């Protein structure tokens, strides 16, 4: 599970305690804990995809400063909750970013109960990115963790207890979205880089901790700390260089990730070609034609979609095909939406048996339910391809049968070769993509990047503390490494004390 989402409910716990202590506080809107949240956060709170207006929300004590700096409001702030048309500029370069509406909410009369501001700007990706970057450059302002706005609202007693149930589901959805996002990013150069840093930092910490806990009794080589010194310095240099790199590592894949999966020869590549209206993938009647991922960018109902065709899932002795199958499964796990393609001619002729057949089939294609994806999930669509080869009457009866099965995802009969049923299928697909785009987390690489940058910067700062105290107080120096690892851990996953002890015992002969 991702550490950032843990932060959310942790604080929620805190707040609920506050509730308990003063139930009246909620009704009277007395700001409680939220006031203590010293940091100011921002996030794009409208959905992604092509849209006319994007809303960027800022919350925290520095909100008024943000508004003054970005909207050129040197004098008084606008009256609360009143829209004002302003030029929005970069606070450093004073470059014009956009013209848009700004709103000021004085706490506690805001969603989060804190001082807040909203920027309603034009919806183009360039404008949004520029505004987010400008916000991130301000002192004391950082990108919000997932769900942090809701959390603060919760803190301030703005959410009633009945809404808590809903919050649970919200957090679940956010965690899921983040998990997918993280999987996508961890699978690649950038992910490997972060993992490598995390591994090396863990070793550094383990060696410092070993030196603290055991060097008086054990034969811990004197050089251990010198090694840590140079490893820490090396890490600092690498992270700093990475932060300065304008390219910022590899480009992240953007858009809603839609993956086509299914058994061999079900017509997955044909579906891809049909959807993108060009032969992007090779199709042939030979099972196992597609062996690697074929990716293509699409625009579905105005939303960016990254469509991937994958190798057919079957046990194969061919090592190339096996690798293709492995990649296919991995891709399904990372997907926002999976289109499971089934050859309709393979369906049982008796419509009453079809539901059970499909259920069984889905369980072989989709990852185990622990990964959060079940057949009933709204992240799966069933495509019953080659409908032209099935007798009309059987198709209709099957369709009727499937409509009454709530345990199954929506199923669409379709023929890629005659395009029958394509319209209906596109309607279903479009509504799904739209829902997914409403989730601000499916495919917001610039925000994720900003969050990563913030943590990497804090990590480097913490490592400075190591050098600062190295000769004066090793406990405080170690604190720097601990903190650096905590920040890196918010990207790569939390690291516990036991894990550090494991490294200590693996690397040293601890004998007393």
Contact between 1 and other proteins by CB under 8 A: the answer reads: yes
Q: Which tokens hold the place of 70?
A: 């970005």
Q: Using CB under 8 A as the criterion, what x/- string covers residues 451-470 for binding other proteins?
A: ------------------x-
Closest contact distance (angstroms) between CB of 481 and other proteins is 11
Phi and psi of 265, rounded to 5°?
60, 25
Cis peptide, bond prior to residue 108, ω within 30 of zero? yes
Contact between 28 and other proteins by CB under 8 A: the answer reads: no
Give the nearer residue to other proteins in terms of CB position, either 277 or 472. Answer: 472
CA distances from 127 to 83, 84, 349, 510 (A): 20, 19, 55, 57
CA distance 311 to 328: 6
Side-chain-facing half-sphere of 161: CA atoms under 13 Å: 10
CA distance 322 to 151: 44
Give the nearer residue to other proteins in terms of CB position, either 112 or 175. Answer: 175
48-56, 164-172, 336-344, 452-460 -> range binding other proteins (CB under 8 A): 164-172
Looking at residue 462, the DSSP 8-state letter turns out to be H
Q: Using CB under 8 A as the criterion, what x/- string covers residues 322-361 for binding other proteins?
A: ----------------------------------------
Give the nearer residue to other proteins in terms of CB position, either 213 or 323. Answer: 213
Long-range contacts: 212-215, Cβ < 8 Å, 24+?
212/474, 212/475, 212/478, 213/504, 214/504, 214/508, 214/510, 214/512
CA distance 478 to 213: 12
Site for other proteins in 490-509 (CB under 8 A): 497-498, 500-501, 504-505, 509
CA distances from 340 to 258, 312, 385, 396 (A): 11, 11, 10, 20
Q: Which of 219, 282, 287, 320 binds other proteins (CB under 8 A)?
A: 219
6-14, 331-339, 346-354, 383-391 -> range binding other proteins (CB under 8 A): 6-14
Site for other proteins in 34-63 (CB under 8 A): 36
Closest contact distance (angstroms) between CB of 289 and other proteins is 38
CA distance 480 to 235: 13
Q: Which tokens hold the place of 389?
A: 């080869």
Contact between 223 and other proteins by CB under 8 A: the answer reads: no
Site for other proteins in 71-100 (CB under 8 A): none
Q: Which of 218, 229, 238, 240 binds other proteins (CB under 8 A)?
A: 218
Give the nearer residue to other proteins in terms of CB position, either 202 or 361. Answer: 202
CA distance 14 to 6: 13
Q: Which of 24, 52, 216, 247 binds other proteins (CB under 8 A)?
A: 216
CA distances from 469 to 216, 461, 488 (A): 20, 13, 21
Q: Which of 20, 94, 241, 244 binds other proteins (CB under 8 A)?
A: 20
The residues that touch other proteins, with contacts defined as CB under 8 A, are 1, 5-6, 8-14, 16-17, 19-20, 23, 36, 161, 164-165, 167-169, 171-172, 175, 209, 211-219, 370, 469, 472-479, 497-498, 500-501, 504-505, 509-512
């Amino acid at each position: 599970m991702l550490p950032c989402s843990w932060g959310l409910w942790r604080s929620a716990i805190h707040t609920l305690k506050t509730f308990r202590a003063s139930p009246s506080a909620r009704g009277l809107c007395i700001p409680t804990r939220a006031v203590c949240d010293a940091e100011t956060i921002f996030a794009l709170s409208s959905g992604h995809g092509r849209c006319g207006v994007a809303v960027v929300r800022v919350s925290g004590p520095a909100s008024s400063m943000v508004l003054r700096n970005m909207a050129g409001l040197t004098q008084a702030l606008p009256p609360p909750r009143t829209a004002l048309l302003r030029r929005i500029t970069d606070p450093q370069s004073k470059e014009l970013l956009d013209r848009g509406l700004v709103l000021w909410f004085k706490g506690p009369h805001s969603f989060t109960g804190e001082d807040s501001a909203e920027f309603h700007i034009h919806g183009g990706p360039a404008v949004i990115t520029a505004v987010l970057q400008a916000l991130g450059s301000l002192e004391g302002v950082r990108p919000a963790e997932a769900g942090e706005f809701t959390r603060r609202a919760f803190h301030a007693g703005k959410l009633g207890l009945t809404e808590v149930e809903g919050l649970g589901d919200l957090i679940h959805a956010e965690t899921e979205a983040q998990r997918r996002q993280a999987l996508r990013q961890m699978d690649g150069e950038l992910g490997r880089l972060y993992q490598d840093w995390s591994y090396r930092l863990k070793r550094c910490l383990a060696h410092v901790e070993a030196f603290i806990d055991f060097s008086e009794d054990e034969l811990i080589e004197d050089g251990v700390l010198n090694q840590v010194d140079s490893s820490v310095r090396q890490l600092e240099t690498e992270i700093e260089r990475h932060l300065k790199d304008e390219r910022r590592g590899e480009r992240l894949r953007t858009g809603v990730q839609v993956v086509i999966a299914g058994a061999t020869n079900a017509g997955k590549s044909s579906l891809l070609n049909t959807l993108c209206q060009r032969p992007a993938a090779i199709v042939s009647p030979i099972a196992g034609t597609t062996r690697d991922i074929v990716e293509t960018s699409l625009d579905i109902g105005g939303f960016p979609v990254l469509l991937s065709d994958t190798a057919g899932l079957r046990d194969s002795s061919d090592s190339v095909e096996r690798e293709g199958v492995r990649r296919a499964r991995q891709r399904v796990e990372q997907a926002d939406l999976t289109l499971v393609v089934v050859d309709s001619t393979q369906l049982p002729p008796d419509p009453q048996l079809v539901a059970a057949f499909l259920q069984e089939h889905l369980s072989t294609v989709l990852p185990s339910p622990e990964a959060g994806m079940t057949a009933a999930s709204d992240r799966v669509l069933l495509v019953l391809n080659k409908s032209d080869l099935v007798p009309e009457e059987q198709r209709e009866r099957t369709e009727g049968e499937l409509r009454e099965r709530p345990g199954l995802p929506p199923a669409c009969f379709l023929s890629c070769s005659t395009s029958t049923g394509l319209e209906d299928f596109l309607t279903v697909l479009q509504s799904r993509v739209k829902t997914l785009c409403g989730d601000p987390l499916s495919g917001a690489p610039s925000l994720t990047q900003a969050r990563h940058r913030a943590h990497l910067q804090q990590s480097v700062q913490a490592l400075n503390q190591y050098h600062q105290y190295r000769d004066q107080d090793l406990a405080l120096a170690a604190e720097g490494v601990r903190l650096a690892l905590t920040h890196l851990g918010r990207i790569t996953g939390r690291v516990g004390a036991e894990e550090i002890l494991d490294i200590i015992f693996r690397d040293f002969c601890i004998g007393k």
